[in-house]
A and B are shown apart, each in its own frame.
Chain A
C-alpha cells in the first residue's frame, strides 16, 4: 500500500504528464481514491502551478530591432 509521503512525491508526475509505469499509476490512483488529504494536495498543487508568475509576453519591436542590429557586430566584447 502506497504511503501518503510517497504518493505526494509520485503525484507530481500526474500533474505534469511524466509517464508512470502501469503499476505506479494504479497504486497512485488507488491511493488517491481513498485519501482525501492527498487528493487535496494534488488539486492544490495544480492550482499553485497555474498561479506561478509567467513571462511569455513577446518582446516589443524596438528592443527586437536593437537585438537584431547587434548580431552583426563582430567580437563586440573582450
Chain B
C-alpha cells in the first residue's frame, strides 16, 4: 500500500476506530522499514522485539493519533523510543554529539579548503559491472555496520526512509544543525569507502 493511501483520512479514521484489517495493512506496509530503523541501534533479535513492542504501543495509542504528523513518522518515533528503552536495559545509551567522530573526508582538503585529493571517477553505472556492484554493496553493508550508531540512524531516517529533516530533529530531540552534521559525516564515510573501492577494488 503506497504511503499516500495510508495517509488518507478515511484510512486513518478506520485505524482510530480500531479496524483490525486496517491495522494489519499498517503492519504489512511498515514493519520492514521499522525493523531496519531498529536495527541501526540494536542487534537483530532485540530489534525484532523492539518493533513487536512498538506495534503493541502503537495499537494502544492509535485512537489518539490526530494526523498532525505522517503515520510513518509517528510509528518511527514509537520504534525509536522502544529501541532506546531496550538500549537502557542493556546499559547503553545513544549519544547525539556529532563531534566524537571526525569527518572522513577532512584529510582530502588542503588547509585553505581546496581539494588536495579530489574524488576518483566512479564506474558505478556501467551495466557489465554486476559482480563489482554486489561486492560494493557487501562492502557498504560492512561499513554501515561499523559506522557510529548516531550516524547510521540519521542516515537511515533521512536517506533511506526519506523522512523530513524536521521530523528527524523532533523525534531524536536534536538540533537541525546536528542532524546535518551527522548526515554529512555518515555520507562522507561511505563516499570515502566507495572512492577507495573504486581505486583499489578492495573493501
Contact check, A67 vs B31: say whether CB atoms are below 8 A apart: yes
Q: With contacts defined as CB atoms under 8 Å apart, how many contacts are there between chain A and chain B in the complex?
A: 109
**Cβ–Cβ < 8 Å partners of A16 in chain B:** 158-159, 165, 183
Per-residue interface assignment for chain A, residues 47 to 62, with 1 indicating a CB less than 8 Å from any chain B CB and 0 otherwise: 1110111111111010
A28: min CB distance to chain B, Å: 14
What is the predominant secondary structure among interface residues of chain B facing chain A?
A: helix
Interface of A is mostly: helix
Among the interface residues A6, A13, A41, which one has the most CB atoms of the partner chain B within 10 A?
Answer: A41
Contact residues on A (Cβ < 8 Å of other chain), bracket: 35 or more
With known contacts A40-B119, A51-B136, A52-B160, A6–B113 Cβ distance under 8 A: yes
B28 at the interface (CB under 8 A from A): yes
Instruction: Enumerate B116-165 residues with CB–CB distance to A below 8 Å.
Output: 118-119, 121-122, 124-125, 133, 136-137, 140-141, 144, 155, 158-160, 165
Give complex CA distance A44, B198 in Å: 12
The size bracket of the interface on B is 35 or more
A12-B183, A70-B52 in contact; A40/B31 too (CB < 8 A)?
A: no
Contact at B194–A53, with CB atoms within 8 Å?
no
Which A residues touch B155, using CB under 8 A? 52
| Given A3-B113, A68-B27, residue A48 in contact with residue B20 (CB < 8 A) | no
A-B contact list, 8 entries, CB within 8 Å: A5-B109, A38-B115, A41-B119, A55-B33, A56-B33, A64-B31, A67-B55, A68-B27
